[in-house]
Structure 1
Amino acid sequence: MRVPYHAVPPEYDDGEGESAETTTAATTCFGIRSDFLIPGRGQPITNGAVVVEDATIQWVGDFSNLPAKYGKVEFHRVKVLLPGLWDCHVHFGGHGLAFSALSDSSAFLPGAPTLAGAVTVADLRRTLDAGFTSVRELQGYAGYLWPGIRDGYLIGPNVYSSLAALSITGGHGDDHELPLCAVKQFGEAGGSSYLCDGADECTKAVRTMVRRGARCIKVCSSGGVLSLNDDPEDRQFSDAELKAVVDETERSGRAVAAHAIGKAGIMAALRAGVKSIEHGCYLDEEVATLMKEKGAILVATRHIQENLLIDHSGYPEPIVKKIEKLVPLTRKNYSLAIEKGVKIALGTDTLYSDPEHRLAHGKNAMELAYAVKAGMTPLEAIEAMTATAPEVLGRQAPKSGQLKAGYDADLIGVAGNPLDDLAFLTDPNNVTHVWKGGKRYKSPV
C-alpha cells in the first residue's frame, strides 16, 4: 500500500479546540517522575523516573540515581507510570452504530466502509484515551486509517492490522446469509473477510493482504461462535492450506494469528506454525504442551465471552447456545493454560462503536480482571498486556510494551496503584496521562 507521508497542517484542529500541532510537534528531551513505576517486565520501582528523547526512552530507574547529564531535564509528575497498554485482538468496523454486530447486509453496500471508517475515528481516539497506545486489529477498518494516525492527522493508537480474516468458503469468515458472489466481491474490494480455498489461493490471499498494507495475517482454522451456520468445533482449512498461509506470511516477515476454538482447529494451526491462538476455548493439556513446544501465544479474549454471556440480546438462539456452552469451558481451560505456563498476551475481541455498550472501544482494560480471576497476579496480567503483547507480531514486533532504554516512548500515567486495585486501569477516567511516540495526547486540564 503506497501512502505518501503528509506533514500535519498547522491549522488542523482535532475537533476539541486544541491544535493538532500541540500533540504532534517534535519533542526534544523530557522526563517523567512517579511515586511507583511498573516497567512491564520486571519488578516495580518506587520513586521511579523515565527520560525520553524524541520517540525513544533513554533512561529508566530510581530518580535518586538520575545520571548527571539529565540534571537539567524538565520532569512531569504522575502518580503511577506504566508502559502503554496493548489490546492484541480488536475489530474496528462501526458495529452498534453504523451496522449491527451480526449479518448486517448493509455493511456490504457501496459506501459502507466509508461510514465504518468515519465511526472508527472516534473509537480510535477513545481507545488511546483509555491508555491503549497499540492494538492488533484482526479484521476491520482501522488498518486503512493507520496512515493517518502515523502521519499525525488522526488521533489513535499504533495499529497493527490484518485488515481481513482469511476463511474457507462456508467458513467462519463467510456470510452465509448473502449470495456467495457478493461475499467474494466484498473481499476483493477490500472488505473485512476474504475467501480462499486450496493452497494456491491461500498463498495469493496472503500476498493480497500484504499488498493492501496488512501488518499481520489472520486465518480462521475453526468455526466460530458469532457465525450462524458453522460449529466452533469444526476444523477449517487443510494442513496444506494452513502451511501455505504461514509460509507466505513468514516470507514477508509477518506473523499469523489463528481464530481457533475447537481442538482440531487449534492443533492444525499449531502444526502449521502460527504465532498466536485466538480464543483457544478447547485448550487442554495436549494443546498446552504443543503451544509451549512451538512458542505459540494464547490470546483468550475473555472480555467478549463473559459479556456476551451476560447480555446476548439480539443474537439468534443457535448462537446463544454456543455462547452458553463455550464460556464456562473457556474459564476452566484459561486457568489450565496459566497453570501450565503457556505464554499469554491479552486481547478483548472488542467490536462495538456505541460508547454505552459493554463491549465498546475504550473498555479494553477489563481483560485484566479476567486474567487475574483465572489465576494471574495483577503484575503478571499487566505484563501480558504490555511486555508480552508485541511478541504476537513475530519478527515485526516493535520495541514496545516496556519502560526500558531503547524502547518506544509509549507510556501512561494512572491515578493509583493497579497492583492494589485494577480499577486504576479498568476505568479510563483513572488514566491521567498518555504519551505515544514521545508525544503527549492526554493530561489533566
Structure 2
Amino acid sequence: MEHRIDAELLIPGAGEAIAHGSVVHTGGRIRFAGPTAELGDEHRALEPTRVAALLPGLWDCHVHFAGIRGRVNTEELMLTPETLAVARGVKDAETALRAGFTSLRDMGGHGCVLAEAVREGTFTGPNIYSANQVIGQTGGHSDAHRLPYRWVTDPCRSGGTLRIADGVDECVRAVRLQLRAGAELIKVCTSGGVLSEVDNPVHQQYRDEELKAIVSEAARAERIVAAHCHGRAGILAAINAGCHTVEHGTEVDEETAELMAERGMVLVPTRTIYEAFRLNAAALPPAWRDRFEAMAERHLKAIGIAHRAGVTIALGTDLGTSDRNGPLSWGGHASELAHLTTAGLSPLEAIMAGTANGPGTLGPRAPRSGRLAAGYDADLLAVDGDPLADIALLADPDRITQVWKSGEPVHRHSPVAPDEAAVRSG
C-alpha cells in the first residue's frame, strides 16, 4: 500500500529545502519525493499525513553499544558482563530511534548481536552497522592498561569490545575475527586516546605496514577501515594506509585536510563527546583533566579547517554510556547538529552531515539511505518546526512528532496536556 506525507517544509538531505513538499512510499522505499504540485494523479488521490517539516531519518556514525555505567574507561569496557551490556544496549537503541536516529554506526560495541535482534524482529531499533571490537596495539587505546596483560590478551576470553593485535599477522587475524562476528566495517586506533591513561593522543599507534595490512584485509571483504585518531601523526598514518574515515580528528590541519579531501575521506568529528566531558570532567582520567580544555578548543578549529577544505563531514557523537539523563547518555545525539554549526557549517550542511553523508561512511556497503529521493529507504523524521531556522529543535524530543523506519511508524510523540502535566508534577 502506498502512503503519502505532505510537509510544509521538505528537507531532502542533499540539496535545497522544498516548501510544500511530499513523499510517497511503499514497501519500505520512497516512490516520490518533491514538490506537492508535481505529484502524479495516482498519488494525489492518496489521503496524506500532514507534518510541519520532513527530513530523512538521522545517522549517528559514531556510537558505542558498550553498555557501561558510571566510570568511563577501558577497564569498564572489559569488565562489564556482555549479557548485561547487550540488555542495556536494547534500551539505548530504542532511545536513539525515538530521537529520530534510524541508522547507527557502532564503532566498538555489541552492535553485531543487536543488529541481528533488530533484523529478526526481537525488538524495534535502528539500522545498526557495527565494527564489533576496536583493534589496537599493546599499550594503546584498545588496551585496558590497569588490568593484567595476560588476562586482557587471553585468546579464550569471551566478550569485550576491545581487541589487541601486534604485528602484521596478528592484525590480519584481528580483522578476520571481526568479519567472523559480522562486522560491517573495521575500527582501528592509529593514535592514543583520552580515556586511556598510559598512551598519548598525539602519538601514532601501529607501524605503517601493520595499518596497511589491516586496510588490505578489510578491503578483500569490501569493508572500509575507520581510524580513531587525534594527533596529526595518527591522522597522516590513517591517510597513508588508505583508511576511509577519520574519527575525532583533533589535530586536522590544512595539509591533512587537503589530503583527506583529495582522497575522498570522511571526517566524523564527534564534537558531542567533547562538550559532554566539559560538563562532566570527573569522568575523565585524572591525567587528562587539565589538558582536555586545550584539546577541545583545538578540535573545534579542526572541524572548521576540514569543512573549508571540502572534506565530507558525517555526524557522529561518540555516545556510549547507558546512564540515564546525563551529558554522556543516549538520546542527545542531535545536539551534534548545533555543534557542527558552531564549527562553521550551515544548518543545511549540518543536516546533510546527519543524513546524506552518513551512508558513505560504510564505503561499498553503503545502503540507499539518508535522502528523500525515489529508490531510497523510507526512513523518515517529522518535526513540528523549521530546523533550518532553529537547528536545536532536532535535539528536543518534544519537537519530534513522528519517526518512520522502512516506511513503518516506529515513534509518535503524544504531547502531554497542560492539566495532565500538572497532575504528574504534583
Task: With the length of structure 1 as denominator, give the TM-score of the two structures.
Answer: 0.90
Q: Give yes or no for the alignment of 1:67 onto 2:40.
A: yes
Deviation at 1:187? 8.4
Distance 2:96 2:170 in 1: 35
Q: Is the 8 A contact 2:68 2:320 kept in 1?
A: yes
Deviation at 1:292? 1.1
Which of 24, 34, 38 is the matching residue for 1:51?
24
Which of 196, 200, 208 is the matching residue for 2:169?
200
Deviation at 1:444? 3.8
Distance 2:76 2:63 in 1: 21
Q: Which residue of 2 aligns with 1:262?
A: 231
Q: Which residue of 2 aligns with 1:24?
A: none
**How does 1:46-445 map onto structure 2 within 5 Å?**
46-96=19-69, 100-104=71-75, 107-108=78-79, 112-185=81-154, 189-445=158-414
The amino acid of 2:62's aligned partner reads H
- Deviation readout 1:194-232 (Å, 9 max, x if unpaired): 111111111111111001010111000000111111000
- SS for the counterpart of 2:257 is helix
Q: 1:428 to 1:183 in 2, by over 3 A?
A: same
The amino acid of 2:284's aligned partner reads Y
Deviation at 1:405? 0.2
Q: 1:298 to 1:410 in 2, by over 3 A?
A: same
The amino acid of 1:146's aligned partner reads A
Query: What RMSD in Å do the two structures reach over aligned CA positions?
Result: 1.5
- Deviation readout 1:34-57 (Å, 9 max, x if unpaired): 111000001111111000011100
Q: Is the 8 A contact 2:5 2:49 kept in 1?
A: yes
Distance 2:52 2:204 in 1: 48
Q: Is the 8 A contact 2:77 2:161 kept in 1?
A: no
- Deviation readout 1:145-188 (Å, 9 max, x if unpaired): 11111122212110000011000011100001001122123785
Distance 2:294 2:199 in 1: 15
The amino acid of 1:38's aligned partner reads I
The amino acid of 1:43's aligned partner reads E
Q: Which residue of 2 aligns with 1:6?
A: none
The amino acid of 1:304's aligned partner reads I
- Deviation readout 1:288-325 (Å, 9 max, x if unpaired): 11101211111111110122123211433202134223
Distance 2:343 2:74 in 1: 32
Q: How many residues align?
A: 414
Q: Is the 8 A contact 1:105 1:178 kept in 2?
A: no
Distance 1:174 1:39 in 2: 42
Deviation at 1:190? 3.2
The amino acid of 2:315's aligned partner reads L
- SS for the counterpart of 2:267 is strand
**Unpaired segments of 5 or more residues in structure 2?**
415-426
- SS for the counterpart of 2:102 is strand
Q: 1:434 to 1:186 in 2, by over 3 A?
A: farther
Distance 1:390 1:188 in 2: 33
Q: Give yes or no for the alignment of 1:39 onto 2:12.
A: yes
- SS for the counterpart of 1:185 is coil
Q: 1:172 to 1:201 in 2, by over 3 A?
A: same
Distance 1:190 1:353 in 2: 18
Q: Is the 8 A contact 1:166 1:195 kept in 2?
A: yes
- SS for the counterpart of 1:376 is coil
Q: Is the 8 A contact 1:187 1:193 kept in 2?
A: no
**Unpaired segments of 5 or more residues in structure 1?**
1-27
Structure 1 moving runs of 4+ over 6 Å:
none
Q: 1:106 to 1:146 in 2, by over 3 A?
A: closer
Q: Which residue of 2 aligns with 1:29?
A: 2
Q: 1:296 to 1:442 in 2, by over 3 A?
A: same
- SS for the counterpart of 1:87 is strand
Distance 1:53 1:106 in 2: 41
Q: Is the 8 A contact 2:378 2:404 kept in 1?
A: yes
Q: Is the 8 A contact 1:187 1:194 kept in 2?
A: no
Q: Is the 8 A contact 1:413 1:432 kept in 2?
A: yes
Distance 2:117 2:20 in 1: 37
Distance 1:128 1:316 in 2: 31
Task: With the length of structure 2 as denominator, give the TM-score of the two structures.
Answer: 0.94
Distance 2:77 2:54 in 1: 44
The amino acid of 2:276's aligned partner reads N
- SS for the counterpart of 1:313 is helix
- SS for the counterpart of 2:306 is helix
Distance 1:106 1:356 in 2: 20
Q: 1:187 to 1:108 in 2, by over 3 A?
A: farther
Q: Is the 8 A contact 2:71 2:283 kept in 1?
A: no
Q: Is the 8 A contact 2:400 2:413 kept in 1?
A: no
Deviation at 1:355? 2.0
Distance 2:313 2:138 in 1: 30
Distance 1:386 1:187 in 2: 40
- SS for the counterpart of 2:61 is strand
Q: Is the 8 A contact 2:320 2:329 kept in 1?
A: yes
Q: 1:188 to 1:205 in 2, by over 3 A?
A: farther
